[in-house]
Amino acid sequence: MIERYSLSPVRDIWTLEKQYERWLKIEIAVVEAFEEKGIAPEGTAKKIREKAKINVERILEIEEEVDHDVIAFIKGVTENMGDEARYFHMGLTSSDVVDTAWAIGMKEATKMILEELKSFIKSLENISLKHKKTLTVGRSHGVHAEPTSFGLKMLTFLAEMKRNYTRLKRAYEGIKVGKLSGAVGNYANISPEIEKLALNKLGLRPTEISTQIVPRDIHAELFSVFALIGSGLDRLATEIRHLQKTEVLELQEPFKKGQRGSSAMPHKKNPIICERLSGMARLLRSYTIPAYENIVLWHERDISHSSVERVNIPDATMIMFYMLEKSIYLIDNLVVDKERMLETFKRSYNLVYSQRVLLGLIGKGLSREDSYKIVQENALKAWEEKKDFKLFINSDKRITDHMSEKEIDELFSNEYFLKNVDEVYKRFF
Amino acid sequence: MIERYSLSPVRDIWTLEKQYERWLKIEIAVVEAFEEKGIAPEGTAKKIREKAKINVERILEIEEEVDHDVIAFIKGVTENMGDEARYFHMGLTSSDVVDTAWAIGMKEATKMILEELKSFIKSLENISLKHKKTLTVGRSHGVHAEPTSFGLKMLTFLAEMKRNYTRLKRAYEGIKVGKLSGAVGNYANISPEIEKLALNKLGLRPTEISTQIVPRDIHAELFSVFALIGSGLDRLATEIRHLQKTEVLELQEPFKKGQRGSSAMPHKKNPIICERLSGMARLLRSYTIPAYENIVLWHERDISHSSVERVNIPDATMIMFYMLEKSIYLIDNLVVDKERMLETFKRSYNLVYSQRVLLGLIGKGLSREDSYKIVQENALKAWEEKKDFKLFINSDKRITDHMSEKEIDELFSNEYFLKNVDEVYKRFF
Amino acid sequence: MIERYSLSPVRDIWTLEKQYERWLKIEIAVVEAFEEKGIAPEGTAKKIREKAKINVERILEIEEEVDHDVIAFIKGVTENMGDEARYFHMGLTSSDVVDTAWAIGMKEATKMILEELKSFIKSLENISLKHKKTLTVGRSHGVHAEPTSFGLKMLTFLAEMKRNYTRLKRAYEGIKVGKLSGAVGNYANISPEIEKLALNKLGLRPTEISTQIVPRDIHAELFSVFALIGSGLDRLATEIRHLQKTEVLELQEPFKKGQRGSSAMPHKKNPIICERLSGMARLLRSYTIPAYENIVLWHERDISHSSVERVNIPDATMIMFYMLEKSIYLIDNLVVDKERMLETFKRSYNLVYSQRVLLGLIGKGLSREDSYKIVQENALKAWEEKKDFKLFINSDKRITDHMSEKEIDELFSNEYFLKNVDEVYKRFF
Amino acid sequence: MIERYSLSPVRDIWTLEKQYERWLKIEIAVVEAFEEKGIAPEGTAKKIREKAKINVERILEIEEEVDHDVIAFIKGVTENMGDEARYFHMGLTSSDVVDTAWAIGMKEATKMILEELKSFIKSLENISLKHKKTLTVGRSHGVHAEPTSFGLKMLTFLAEMKRNYTRLKRAYEGIKVGKLSGAVGNYANISPEIEKLALNKLGLRPTEISTQIVPRDIHAELFSVFALIGSGLDRLATEIRHLQKTEVLELQEPFKKGQRGSSAMPHKKNPIICERLSGMARLLRSYTIPAYENIVLWHERDISHSSVERVNIPDATMIMFYMLEKSIYLIDNLVVDKERMLETFKRSYNLVYSQRVLLGLIGKGLSREDSYKIVQENALKAWEEKKDFKLFINSDKRITDHMSEKEIDELFSNEYFLKNVDEVYKRFF
């Protein structure tokens, strides 16, 4: 991932140094298990822990020669070790170390992302509560539809992110599996008992059954959830971008003091964070395809998944974390212009009440078909002549024959549209 | 979906006629709820049920005029209805009907797929049990690695499909949500109470909160799971394709009497079902991208998701069902050549025991580094000279200084590699 | 593809009957070539042409038995043929027929799409010319930027579609390749000479070199171009959807007499064609992934590409054709509200002229930094107080010290922004 | 991109420092054009060139404040500039600089990739020529089909890569476009003349028409081509991986002295470069999806494409370059075991000649149907009994009634299958 989108603490997980540290931790956990089971003499793990040195440059140097990163690591780390080196990596295959280390790294990163998602949910709760009854135009197809509350709008994101939290939590539980089952997963040279002992020390559990590696559907599930979360944030970003359009301007993403929107046009205040989120969501969506393809490995494994994962696991977790961090900032500092939201109603000549008139007529005994035609006729006139829809309603005999002016007036009230808002909120608070 | 891949009963869900039937069922459920709550007079639902007629041609004819499929449906169905037509679709918006109908259709299809997946899991259990101790070469990178059992191999698919079953079950629970919350999801003209009543009649529950539509992350989750299952089947198909290669020929997919493999070459028996599965997995993977993009709709909805779903929901469910049906047939009738599996060992000159020799030397007190070098030297000689690896081991003084011939003999036994198989099976049976 | 999106003439290419017809045409072309080269006796092709009967049901019945569609076809077609049947399919492998038939089908479909694209380009030329100097607000980030012409906007689509035409033309030339090189592409049982002769009769040329099949990068290129065109149409659809938003309403897609926008809200006029195009573009984009994966076949071929193509080749060509047909209708009947476009300028308080003031100050000798700060300050005030930007400019001493009122007035003229429009148009007309 | 896959010289293009250098070069080119056209006084460009200093830290510091990278760059670079700073960035918008700089960077990177692809084509030519008549089994569906030459196999990759070269060359010509047309592409504050002059100095031409940015279909085309090349390399890698399988072992990718294949199994020689290429191809395929989505920007631009491109343009070019570099090494050092290729024929009991027998019988006057049945019967017997197919043919009266032993012998010759190889090579050499 590029510097620009790499935020601590997730970025710190994915340095080469930290990777070697995870590898070492795993090797030592296995030796400890050997010791507990009497396979290695007492004190072996302690000695190894003392003598094992991670020297990144030296390891890379050895890799140049042996063309295998784990072997280089082992050689590098055990170079000045004594006899206890015999227990180091004993009975293991490289993937035991590599895949278990991925699990640790992904577990750590996903935990941070879960925390971040939880904070974001909190932000969404706050904004939803604050704007429970903030009247705004609901839109479908980009066209004014009917009145609703801005809080309800935000509540849909809250609900989506809570679903996503559940999904991410499940994926998180799913990825907490390592494997120490040897070259083809048959436990020939290491026992299920050792695997369990060592993995538990690392906060992991054994994969139900592994080949040479942890099966990749487990990782692909995580990538799927990132794509779901990313697309949900994209939906939110798109909503804000729409509502920040000059013609609408009901929302604005925070604009810092000193910030400049354009090198050419000093008046510009652009929703650049939102646009960035929309772009990043494309990245997260695209990462799923190779993650799915990675499932389809040959026999007990081929290593084609590896080049993909070296790039995409760090990148996806960093992007996901970055997006959530920015989303929290965005929602916590979103500029909501309630007055403007009310003014917006004027843009559609009271046409947002057309369904109420339709239902009013049906209530008066007219057929749905006839009522629809009458209302549509008046509505199209209002659009064309850019005049108040109510004027046309009040002067259409086919309507006034059935409804008094007062009855018509009542159809044009906003309270009506918010009457069930409390009911919906009860599902969340 | 093309005829060729459309199997009953899933295909029957997706006819235009059945879609209209679902729509009608929903409209009637709402009227029933109205009746229960005293909004419509007693007997309305009954009358509507009697008079509503679905005439596919007539509806399509009306659609030509009004350019809106739900309106055409309402007009068509209520054409000869009496006064009770006023309660038909009252307070609803098209999406209430369309999205709830999608939910019913997807629920039915996914249920069938779940059943199919369960059967497939049963097939995998059978084959795993049957070949628990069937010795075979484990391979990594396509290269012989170490001995394992064919049952263990199958068990990895069993485990994967069980994970997928859990995922699909969750997605299935997720999609059982409809919405009857009106034009922008604010329940202005229909109450949460009516929604709940009507949806429950249909075997659904209300979406926690909806806009004009059911949020699309719910559908995208289902598509993700299809991609996961499809890719798992692709892995299985790829495994069989590999093991059916002429040089390996340990497996063969069933070849029917009378079947012909090639129009040109009468000798051909090709793994065409497996190849078809691999291709179809590509389709399922690709369906996720538009499903994720469909999440990002404008405001309370735009209808851009619709064209995607009209194609991909039926296609994905039919493909998924087809793949599972074929996979069951495949596994239930798979030709497993156990003798050939044993012969295969000869192809790699007993090199599959190289790690055991390595560990044997370490056990004798040699360092990992020295042991590795000694064994690798002998292994490369065996490759090059195409001779039994054991011969070289037996004549390398660096080894025989530490191990007797009998000790070496013991390193070349297969039982060793299967000693933990029972342990692993216990996790599943 | 579903009925709804299947338009003639492309849909007619992809019936099963037409496929068999193409297969027969190819088989006969080969026999004709045999005849010309003296391999088959004179009159063989004529006899075959007379006796070959395509009976779809019968062929499908045979396929049930032999499980191979081409073999079933051959058996079915030659059932009542005499001795000349010996020359039918002689030396060919199934893929010779299948792949060459795909080439013919794709050639026909792509030709229709090219025609459609040409018409669409014509539509874009018309609308561009019509609105060469139609003043409208240019927007970046959804925010008013500077004045431009609506014609220029349309011209960007014209330019893009012309690039796409070139790309599609190249892909079209690329796919006009068949192969009649036998089971593994080595011409063992059929000669390069026969291949060339027969393919030329069919309007194709031989693939430079084939395996058992035509290499799939050729097909993938076509799918890539469809994704490019689809995304370009999506951009256009998105532009229109934006400009049809209630708050903007500078454009409207055609709304037919009798059309209804919503079952609930009689006032709705929704950009549903555009939204449909946006959805379909997602489909076209997603089709590229399996098309790329199809390139990676095993050895001289595996048949995993086939299930993908049976679905995606017909679907992609039908979708592409449908999208272009709708796009032409859309552009030819687009409702452009020029007055509304002018009114739109008021929404941003003359801020669209901020860069001109900036450049004006720089021109007067102020530094870019100082000028930017001065202009930004005034611009932000205009936003906040919702007042004319010019008022602030006219009363800022830091500006008026350097510019007369008349000079300032000149900075706020629209003509300035269109002065190079003719120049740009010259590149196209 | 991660260190591991970042190779010079492509990696050096994408440092932050180099990006700023490109930006500066562009700003200066514009000033030079101003000077030539008499807009800026003589000597301005020279002065700017002398005084402009790129201080990466300082620029990043300013960006913290202004939250806009180009503005920060301008402020940073002009900080100690005199009056001539007024001409710096005059009339430009940030995207003029950013997009033109992307064009320069992509041009440079793509040029390097083109060179690399050319070298790779040379490698493919060499190997094709070397193995023109190297006999090997052709396979379809992974099953032995008919004899062919290893050279022909390689030739299919040569042909594919030549097609890809043409495609990449076109995309390369396509991306050599910059834009200096101002905030919404209307040339309000900068003239088409200046654009042309400045871009020509930079080795670019003006985009036919731009919005605020260069249209993204141009970039997406490049990404498509990378996906095509990547998938072609994946096909090659997959071929080699197959032929290096222990049971086949006709090929081996180079194995360096000192290299180790597995930390557990000293005998392993794994096709790890090929597997890496297969994985990387997945990345390149996945990059196309966001590239297509990036086409669909709002109005004269939204900046959602930017986050995608900051990651994917450098990554895709680096991956592409890396893959080609490794592919050259791979092909130049590929271990081809010609003897083993001949031995392989024994694995399929001479069944690869079944079509010849079929055609032989047809030639003798038997019908295709009868001939097929007779040959298939014998072929299945050979498979089952694992005996020489020829034995069965020689003892089937239905065959020997029509053919002498000598005639049958002739059907089992390999020369027959290579007789048209020269003809095919003529198309390439």
| Closest chain C C-alpha to A320 CA, distance in angstroms | 23
- B139–D246: do the CB atoms touch at under 8 Å? yes
pLDDT digit string (tens) for chain D, length 429 residues: 899 999 999 999 999 999 999 999 999 999 999 999 999 999 999 999 999 989 999 999 999 988 899 999 999 999 989 889 989 999 999 999 999 999 999 999 999 999 999 999 999 999 999 999 999 999 999 999 999 999 999 999 999 999 999 999 999 999 999 999 999 999 999 999 999 999 999 999 999 999 999 999 999 999 999 999 999 999 999 999 999 999 999 999 998 887 887 877 888 889 999 999 999 999 999 999 999 999 999 999 999 999 999 999 999 999 999 999 999 999 999 999 999 999 999 899 999 999 999 999 999 989 888 999 999 999 989 988 989 999 999 999 999 999 999 999 999 989 999 999 999 999 999
- Least CB-CB distance to C344: which of A247, A289, A379? A247
Residues 179-238 on C with a CB inside 8 Å of A are: none
Q: Which of A156, A133, A420 is nearest to B194 (CA)?
A: A420
Question: Does the beta carbon of A160 lie under 8 angstroms from any beta carbon of chain B?
Answer: yes
Q: Which amino acid is at B137?
A: V
Q: Count other Cβ atoms within 10 Å, centred on residue C35.
A: 17
Among residues of chain B, what percentage have pLDDT more than 90?
89
Q: Which amino acid is at D144?
A: H
The residue-averaged pLDDT of A111-118 equals: 98
Residue A264 pLDDT > 80: no
In angstroms, rounded to a whole number, what is the distance separating the alpha carbons of residues B77 and B92? 16
The whole-number pLDDT of residue B266 equals 81
- C256–B311: do the CB atoms touch at under 8 Å? no
- A74–D263: do the CB atoms touch at under 8 Å? yes
In sequence order, which residues have a C-beta less than 8 Å from that of residue C154 and are 6 or more positions away?
Answer: C124, C127, C128, C131
Binding partners of B (≥3 Cβ pairs within 8 A) = A, C, D
In tens, the pLDDT along C20-55 reads 999 999 999 999 999 999 999 999 999 999 999 999
In tens, the pLDDT along D368-409 reads 889 999 999 999 899 889 899 999 999 999 999 999 999 999
Stretches where chain B sits below pLDDT 50 are none
Residue D262 appears among annotated catalytic residues: yes
- C355–A140: do the CB atoms touch at under 8 Å? no
Q: Kindly list the residues from chain B whose CB atom is less than 8 angstroms away from the CB atom of residue D390.
A: none
Question: Does the beta carbon of A272 lie under 8 angstroms from any beta carbon of chain D?
Answer: yes
Name the DSSP class of C177.
E
Contact indicator for B307, C5 with CB cutoff of 8 Å: yes
Q: Which of A230, A216, A377 is nearest to A293 (CA)?
A: A216
Q: Kindly list the residues from chain B whose CB atom is less than 8 angstroms away from the CB atom of residue D289.
A: 289
> Can you tell me whether residue D271 is helix, strand or coil?
coil
Q: Which of D262, D304, D367, D413 is catalytic?
A: D262
Q: How many CB pairs under 8 A join A and D?
A: 172
- Least CB-CB distance to A138: which of B191, B296, B300? B300
Determine phi and psi for A190, rounding to 5 degrees: -150, 145
| Closest chain D C-alpha to A205 CA, distance in angstroms | 22
| End-to-end CA, chain B | 38
Q: How far, in Å, are A371, C107, D313 from residue D105 at the CA level?
A: 63, 37, 9
Residue A260 pLDDT > 90: no
The whole-number pLDDT of residue D89 equals 94
Q: Kindly list the residues from chain A whose CB atom is less than 8 angstroms away from the CB atom of residue B295.
A: 228, 231-232, 234-235
CA angle B182, B184, B187 (to 5 degrees): 45
Residues 239-268 on D with a CB inside 8 Å of A are: 241, 256, 258-265
**Angle subtended by helix axes B94-130 and B16-36, to nearest 10:** 120
In angstroms, rounded to a whole number, what is the distance separating the alpha carbons of residues C379 and C351? 7
Q: Kindly list the residues from chain C whose CB atom is less than 8 angstroms away from the CB atom of residue B278.
A: 302, 304
> Can you tell me whether residue A206 is helix, strand or coil?
strand
In angstroms, rounded to a whole number, what is the distance separating the alpha carbons of residues D173 and D161? 18
Q: Which of C94, C300, C352 to mutate to test the interface with D (most CBs of D within 10 A)?
A: C300
Contact indicator for C257, C333 with CB cutoff of 8 Å: no
The whole-number pLDDT of residue B202 equals 98
The whole-number pLDDT of residue C180 equals 98
Contact indicator for A149, A131 with CB cutoff of 8 Å: yes
Q: Tokens in use for D246? A: 């222990």
- Least CB-CB distance to D192: which of C145, C300, C420? C420
Q: Which of D140, D141, D263, D404 is catalytic?
A: D141
Q: How many CB pairs under 8 A join B and C?
A: 173
Question: What is the 3-class SS of D147-162, one letter each residue?
Answer: EEEHHHHHHHHHHHHH
- C145–D182: do the CB atoms touch at under 8 Å? no
In tens, the pLDDT along A144-200 reads 999 999 999 999 999 999 999 999 999 999 999 999 999 999 999 999 999 999 999
Residue C215, phi-psi category: left (phi > 0), alpha (psi -120 to 50), beta (remainder): beta
Residues 294-333 on A with a CB inside 8 Å of D are: 294, 298, 302-308, 310-312, 314-315
- D376–B266: do the CB atoms touch at under 8 Å? yes
Q: Tokens in use for A342? A: 């009310």
The whole-number pLDDT of residue B185 equals 96
The whole-number pLDDT of residue B261 equals 78
Q: Which of C68, C262, C286, C367 is catalytic?
A: C262
Residues 364-383 on B with a CB inside 8 Å of C are: none
CA B148 to chain centroid: 27
Residue A277 pLDDT > 90: yes
In tens, the pLDDT along A355-407 reads 999 999 999 989 888 999 999 999 989 988 989 999 999 999 999 999 999 99
- C295–D159: do the CB atoms touch at under 8 Å? no
Stretches where chain C sits below pLDDT 50 are none
> Rg of chain B over CA atoms, in angstroms?
30
In angstroms, rounded to a whole number, what is the distance separating the alpha carbons of residues B26 and B28? 5
Burial (CB count <10 Å: 0-12, 13-18, 19+), residue D46: middle
- D185–C156: do the CB atoms touch at under 8 Å? yes
Q: Is the peptide bond between D147 and the residue preceding it cis, with omega within 30 degrees of 0? A: no
Q: Which amino acid is at B112?
A: M
Residue A83 pLDDT > 90: no
Q: Tokens in use for C16? A: 């099963």
Q: How many CB pairs under 8 A join A and B?
A: 298
- D310: closest chain A residue by CA: A2
In sequence order, which residues have a C-beta less than 8 Å from that of residue C417 and are 6 or more positions away?
Answer: C146, C147, C148, D186, D188
Active site residues of A: 141, 262
Map out the domains of chain C with their CATH numbers.
Answer: 3-87 (1.10.275.10), 99-178+213-344 (1.20.200.10), 351-411 (1.10.40.30)
Mean pLDDT over the full length of chain A:
95
The whole-number pLDDT of residue D75 equals 93
Q: Kindly list the residues from chain A whose CB atom is less than 8 angstroms away from the CB atom of residue D212.
A: none
> Rg of chain D over CA atoms, in angstroms?
30
Among residues of chain A, what percentage have pLDDT more than 70?
100
Residue A245 pLDDT > 90: yes
Beta bridge partners of B148: B136
Q: Which of B100, B96, B80, B78 is nearest to B88 (CA)?
A: B78
- D258: closest chain A residue by CA: A66
In tens, the pLDDT along D120-148 reads 999 999 999 999 999 999 999 999 999 99
Q: What is the DSSP string of B402-416?
A: T--HHHHHHHT-SHH
Determine phi and psi for A108, rounding to 5 degrees: -60, -50
Q: Which of C84, C85, C70, C89 is nearest to C30 (CA)?
A: C89
Q: Tokens in use for A246? A: 């000059």
The whole-number pLDDT of residue C368 equals 84
The whole-number pLDDT of residue A110 equals 98
